[in-house]
Structure 1
Amino acid sequence: MVTVGPHCLDDSEVRGVVFDVDGTLLDTMPLFYPSWPKTGDQPRFGLRVSEEDFYRLAGVPLPDIVHSLHVEQKGCAPSPEFVKDFVAEKVRVHKELEAVKGPPPPIAGVVALAKEYKSRGVPVAIATSGIKDIVLEHLHAVGLQDLVPRELMVFSSDVAKGKPDPAIYLEAARRLGVEPRFCRAYEDGESGLQSACLAGMETIDVTFMQDYPAPEALRKAKMEQISRREWLPA
């Protein structure tokens, strides 16, 4: 694993831990991607979504991804109705595909870390951009519904701004009752890494774990993102 940013904690200093879900606790990303181009290619939407785009925007709330792609490709902001319809169709298409392929598997090494913290008495929270109902379904499907108490699960719908804004991690720290500087965050996507880092937490990039399931598109996006981290504090 790799620490992002200057803030580092000794294990003895960690008073709370926060995990992202999609791409961190669960290997959802390869299963999430196909529904994006299938939705975007529909004539009523007309948005191209490459695998590189998908990993570049990993961790950003779905409506914000649609907004960003629309601005990039059409030169203007989409209407709220466009965004709402796109997200609804994307979720519908994904559920159809998932019914065939099955739910996303856990990422064993990351789940083991979360369970280890719990066994040591360190409180664990979740901070995810995922849609609440889908996240809960996925956690239940792989037996992780009790990994984190429901009151310590923070969704983007719970805060005013989603990742990369630090609000979701600040809310997770508040619910844990721990100052952010004594929290350790585990993330995979650039927007989530930025969110946790700007919240003042020690921030760990799980995609560099030895057994992390990383496709080539993710590795390519990761290297490009690392080279352009202007948001990183000195």
Structure 2
Amino acid sequence: MKLDFTPAAVLFDMDGLMIDSEKAVMACWLEAADIHGVTLEEDLLHAMVGLHEKLCIALLRERRPDLDIRTLGETTDRLYHDKVEQGLPLKPGIIELLQWLTDLGVPRAVATSTRRERADQKLHRSGLIRFFPIVVTGSDIEHPKPAPDIYLKAANLLGVAPQHCLVLEDSEPGVRAALAAGMTPIQVPDLKPPSPEVIALGHRIVGSLTDAHTLLRARYTPCEQGA
């Protein structure tokens, strides 16, 4: 498995890709459910992975109309805010990859479904913000992933044509968004393994950010690295 082009820019998802946050989110939903004396199914929580906040709420209302989703969501948000403030772990290999791309001068952007306030909180608390001149969030676009809007906006802000962009994603909605934008995604699955339908999309799927880094290294020749 190789890359067939040298990316002019690399766009990054945030949660589950750079920051090991998905387990923390699920734990907060479960804790909030316990506080309010209700239960949430694990498969429902997994279905929410990678979705914009509005889509998560819509899914909850569809699957669990018996719940007070607003109150449950507010409690979850408060619990999660505290976890983010305490610091969430980074995914292995992310700092090495970002530092390498920075040293090469490859343009980079974050494209996350997370709302602006929370995304800024995470990027600053984790120290990742120093690698990204451009951050596009779910607050900045009308149609969230799997629509292509967020990736198209990031590419436009970087001044790079979509077809020259590489996207690193962990989730199905993110992969579909990248493909819809005409970009090349590499998926690094987190909690939710790719479904047969996602695998059938034919994109590259790797086991870690280190594997993604290896694919990228093969595309940048010594000449390009010195440019």
- Tell whether the structures are fold-level matches, with TM greater than 0.5: yes
2:9 — aligned with what?
16
Q: Does 1:30 align with 2:23?
A: yes
2: CA distance, partners of 1:48 / 1:119: 45
2:209 — aligned with what?
none
2:225 — aligned with what?
none
Task: Check whether the contact 1:166–1:195 (CA below 8 A) recurs between aligned residues.
Answer: yes
Q: Does 1:88 align with 2:74?
A: yes
Q: Judge which range, 27-36 or 140-149, deviates more.
A: 140-149
Q: Does 1:158 align with 2:127?
A: no
1:49-98: CA deviation from partner (whole Å, max 9, x where unpaired): 42x333333111122112112212339xx9xxx66554433211223455
Task: Check whether the contact 1:187–1:203 (CA below 8 A) recurs between aligned residues.
Answer: yes
1:24 is paired with a residue whose SS is coil
- Residues 83-232 of structure 1: pairs in structure 2 closer than 5 A: 85-97=71-83, 102-149=86-133, 152-207=134-189, 218=191, 221-222=192-193, 225-229=194-198, 232=201
2: CA distance, partners of 1:47 / 1:61: 22
**Under a length normalisation based on structure 2, what TM-score does the superposition of the two structures give?**
0.77
Q: Which amino acid aligns with 1:91?
A: D
2: CA distance, partners of 1:17 / 1:111: 14
Q: Percent identity?
A: 27
Label 1:85 to 1:160 Cα distance change in 2 as closer, same or farther (>3 A). farther
Deviation for aligned residue 1:194: 1.2
Label 1:122 to 1:147 Cα distance change in 2 as closer, same or farther (>3 A). same
Number of corresponding residues: 203
2:131 is paired with a residue whose SS is coil
1: CA distance, partners of 2:4 / 2:10: 12
Q: Which amino acid aligns with 2:81?
A: K
Q: Which amino acid aligns with 1:68?
A: L
Unaligned runs of 5+ in 1: 208-213
Q: Which has the higher contact order (CA 8 A, sep 6+)?
A: 1
Unaligned runs of 5+ in 2: 204-227
**Pairwise CA RMSD of aligned residues?**
2.8
1: CA distance, partners of 2:84 / 2:168: 26
2: CA distance, partners of 1:122 / 1:130: 24
Deviation for aligned residue 1:148: 0.5
Deviation for aligned residue 1:141: 2.1
1:209-228: CA deviation from partner (whole Å, max 9, x where unpaired): xxxxx5xxx2xx31xx4212
Q: Which amino acid aligns with 2:47?
A: R
1: CA distance, partners of 2:79 / 2:175: 28
Label 1:61 to 1:86 Cα distance change in 2 as closer, same or farther (>3 A). farther
Task: Check whether the contact 2:123–2:129 (CA below 8 A) recurs between aligned residues.
Answer: yes
1:27 is paired with a residue whose SS is coil
**Under a length normalisation based on structure 1, what TM-score does the superposition of the two structures give?**
0.75
Deviation for aligned residue 1:196: 1.1
